[in-house]
Structure 1
Amino acid sequence: MRILLTNDDGVRAEGMSVLRRIAAKLSDDVWVCAPETEQSAASRGVSLHNPVRLKKLEDRVFCVSGTPTDSVIVGLKDLLKDHAPDLILSGVNRGQNLAEDVTFSGTIAGALQGMQMGIPSIALSLARGFQGAGSLPWETAEQHGPKIIKDLLSKGWPANVILSVNFPDAAPDAVKGVQITRQGHRDFQMTGVEKRDYPRGGHYFWLTYGAKKSNPPVGTDLRAIYDGYISVTPLYTDLTHEDTLRALE
């Protein structure tokens, strides 16, 4: 099985090292094509107005001067054009991709681009800030990731769907299990802005993003992570709201 890896934290991120070790337990034919620098919250951005440069870092490891979507496109259209991968893994993201996050996540975007180009794709993220302070338990994703991916591959999923896997920020033996979940919705605004004075006059802004808990219902990705479970959520790109569609008709 040939696997292509990407992410949005950058090719040198800790999560990519973890993902490479996860993939190595699944296959000996693993390729990496990821952004050279961090592209968090890049969503499905494509570099249509700038050239994208490809750089080889080591055998089967490459980076691009662009977004996660750019990375997948270059990986499939150039690096692996003669032998497409059987699977794309995007991550492991430093932080959760839950609820509304999925619409601007570069990690999710990498998987969506793979799906759009006909390759089964899984996004993997490690939550932070919920189970306690301290360093992220990367070993949780590394220990549980291979089995989850194998189980999902054995089951299969529709061609127009990606799977978003979120690991709780808990030690490997503290994980309570796996839940298949739907996308949740928070009951507060996560985004904010800090307005500051520019030394030479005028103002500038820092955009902020919180991580506090909401009170989501059982069965959502949010609740699963809050409760210490691994969340697996099937996602797809059809954003049509059927009830409104029928009402407008």
Structure 2
Amino acid sequence: MSTPLRILITNDDGIDAPGIRILHEIALRISSEVWLVAPDGNQSGAGHRISFGRELRIDERGPRQFAIHGGSPADCVIAGATKLMGGAPPDVVLSGINNGQNLGDIINCSGTAAGAREGALQGALGIALSQGVNYEQSREVVWDAAVAHGEAAIRAIIATAAARPGLSAQAYFNVNFPPCAPDKVQGMRLVPAQRFARSPMRYYQSDNPGHFFVAIPETPKPLDPASDFEMLHKGRAVTVTPVLLQVTDFGLVSALDGALGAL
């Protein structure tokens, strides 16, 4: 009898968000060894913040379920992987399911992506999962595609990593479910992340004098038809993007050798 996978779940929407409960149910169909360690409240956009030098509090919510007060998704993964799971690290870290897509350059500030990234840095297979929303029609998230196709997507990535030793040490995976009915989903596609010509983040004026928001008022154009943005919304595919952990561009290291001169 094989040993069940040790799965750690986190998110950035908070431990009481509906997406993480859906993911918890999916994970329990994959393994009996599931832990949930998540922020006590919303940490969207937290990126890979680590709370160095700041005391954090753990609230046990139930068997193998913990809320970290004020903690980021990365904090939660660190606490789970190195302490709360009893000293044995996770095999898989699942982050999500996020309310809204995490696509293109936005993954650089995504707390959902950071949870999976920290999982991979801790030696696990990291998978970030998000349910897309068509904001031109409604801001309400409909979880049906993630509920219907989440387990298959996770199992496929786990099987792919198992067949390729060392893959989880090279990359984590960013998964998005399209905002359409489950029977309209057009399969699962490996796609690149959209690179924008410039950041989509903008100053957005508040109604309160002297205050403002940071927001994404519109998606920058043009978009690559083969990228995650277009394949999710126009292609109605479950998009899967492998994201490298090694951020060095070795080609540029070689090409620029000597270009900076001697100090």
TM-score normalized by structure 2? 0.86
The answer to whether the 8 Å contact 1:130/1:213 transfers is no
Which runs of structure 2 are paired with 1:1-249 in the superposition (5 Å)? 1-65=5-69, 66-129=71-134, 132-133=137-138, 135-156=140-161, 158=167, 159-187=169-197, 189-195=199-205, 203-212=210-219, 214-226=221-233, 227-249=235-257
Structure 1 gaps, min length 5: none
Change in Cα spacing, 1:219 to 1:164, as seen in structure 2 (3 Å) is: same
Among all aligned residue pairs of Structure 1 and Structure 2, give the percentage whose two residues are the same amino acid: 32
Change in Cα spacing, 1:243 to 1:86, as seen in structure 2 (3 Å) is: closer
The answer to whether the 8 Å contact 1:180/1:219 transfers is no
TM-score normalized by structure 1? 0.91
User: Residues of 1 paired with 2:117 and 2:40: CA distance?
Assistant: 20
Structure 1, 39-48 or 25-34: larger mean CA deviation: 25-34
Letter in 2 for 1:31: W
Change in Cα spacing, 1:141 to 1:197, as seen in structure 2 (3 Å) is: closer
Change in Cα spacing, 1:197 to 1:215, as seen in structure 2 (3 Å) is: closer
Change in Cα spacing, 1:175 to 1:131, as seen in structure 2 (3 Å) is: farther
Structure 2 gaps, min length 5: 258-263
User: Residues of 2 paired with 1:104 and 1:165: CA distance?
Assistant: 16
User: Residues of 2 paired with 1:19 and 1:160: CA distance?
Assistant: 24
Change in Cα spacing, 1:240 to 1:82, as seen in structure 2 (3 Å) is: closer
User: Residues of 2 paired with 1:188 and 1:20: CA distance?
Assistant: 36
> Once superposed, what is the RMSD of the aligned Cα atoms?
2.0
User: Residues of 2 paired with 1:123 and 1:169: CA distance?
Assistant: 17
Q: What is the aligned residue count?
A: 246
The answer to whether the 8 Å contact 2:8/2:36 transfers is yes
Q: CA deviation at 1:234?
A: 0.3
For 1:170-218, what per-residue CA distance to the aligned partner results, in whole angstroms no more than 9, with x for missing partners? Answer: 111111111101111235652221345866xxx2222222354744223
The answer to whether the 8 Å contact 2:170/2:246 transfers is no
User: Residues of 2 paired with 1:151 and 1:238: CA distance?
Assistant: 23
